[in-house]
Amino acid sequence: MIVNAVGFQTLVQREMVRTFSIINQVIWPPVIQTLLYVFIFGFGLGSRINSVNGVSYAQFLIPGLIMLQLIDQTYSESSSSVFQGRFMNSIQELLIAPLSAIEIVLGYVVAGVVRAIFIALLITALGAALVHAYPTNWGLYVLTIVLVAVLFSSLGIIFGLLAEKFDHIAVLTTFFITPLVFVGGVFTSLQLLPPLLQKVSLVNPMFYMIDVFRNSYIGIGDVSLWLSLTIVTLLAVSAFSVALGMTAAGYKLRT
């Protein structure tokens, strides 16, 4: 599958160089925002809530906040890197090299996964220090991060290719990702919602990502773990396949 391993690793390394050269856009905002959410919602409002699913509200909040930041950062970094490469034509450095479509797509996606794990670990450490929230199932914790990062890195590639201007990249974030994540269970358990909203939540894909990730912390979820994992896996595989197909076809890359 990967023939030019050095080329693939170089692309991953390049993406990491990019990440750390814009650290104030990529790494610190999720940490600062999480701190604010924990202080305002966790400590402020949370002090009025006894417990949710057997843990304090602040502890309940942490896995949702990690997913919130992870989804946002993974998508925006991957989409802006691809779009900027197209816009500045620097992506031609990859296109003229002996790199296959799968090597290019995997390069962006693996970099997205590494970035996601890094951000998640930072926020996890914050959660542990501030509210004593720890993952109890590290395997599920890592698996969920990987699947979600693959999904949103792939979506980033897709929209980085589709976009004609930077503004187009924001369409998915503004109208879909942010609203769906916010109503997908970051701040509340499904059981606390009215029956109608509970049913609506079940068609929100973000709900399954947050639910399965929260499961890695508190050991229980609102729906079956396997259902959530299956849905997240299917979405990740589908998005990766579309990104790969577009790159292999040279969509907006090769004339």
Partner 1 sequence: MNGAVPALRIDRLVKRYGDFTAVDGISFDVAEGEFFGLLGPNGAGKTTTINAIVGLAHITGGAISLFGYDTVRDWRAARRQVGLAPQEYNFDRYLNIRDVLIFQAGYYGIRGKAVERRADMLLERFDLASKAKLVYTKLSGGMKRRLTLARALIHEPRLVILDEPTAGVDVELRLELWSMLRELNTKGTTIILTTHYLEEAEELCDRIGIIQTGKLVALETTQKLIGDGSLQDVFLELTRR
Residues near partner 1, by CB under 8 A: 3-7, 9-11, 13-14, 17-18, 21-22, 88-90, 92-100, 250, 254-255
Contact 119, 16 (CB under 8 A): no
Distance CA 247, CA 254 (A): 9
Rounded distance between C-alpha atoms, residue 37 and residue 33, angstroms:
6
CB of 101 to partner 1, least distance (A): 11
> What gap in Å lies between CA 158 and CA 133, rounded to an integer?
35
- Residue matched to tokens 């059981």: 191
Q: Residue 106 or residue 209: which is nearer to partner 1 going by CB?
A: 106
Return the number of the residue (9 or 198) whose C-beta is nearest partner 1: 9
Report the nearest approach of partner 1 to the CB of residue 36 (Å): 29
Nearest approach, Cβ of 83 to partner 1 (angstroms)?
13
| Closest distance to partner 1 from the beta carbon of 25 (Å) | 12
Q: In whole angstroms, what is the distance from residue 180 CA to residue 206 CA?
A: 6
Distance CA 155, CA 249 (A): 17
Q: Which is nearer to partner 1, 5 or 203 (CB)?
A: 5
Which DSSP string do the residues of 32-71 spell out, in sequence order?
Answer: HHHHHHIIIIIIIGGGG---BTTB-HHHHHHHHHHHHHHH
Q: Which is nearer to partner 1, 20 or 138 (CB)?
A: 20
**Nearer CB in complex with partner 1: 14/168:** 14
Nearer to partner 1, 92 or 224 (CB): 92
Tokens found for residue 177: 């990702």
Residue closer to partner 1 (CB basis): 171 or 249? 249
CA 101/CA 18 separation, integer angstroms: 21
Quote the least distance from Cβ 167 to partner 1, whole Å.
20
What whole-number distance in Å separates Cα of residue 252 and Cα of residue 54? 50
Shortest Å distance, C-beta 207 to partner 1? 36
List of residues 6+ apart from 174 with CB closer than 8 A: none
Judged on CB neighbours under 10 Å (0-12, 13-18, 19+), 27 is middle
CB 208 to partner 1: min, Å: 35
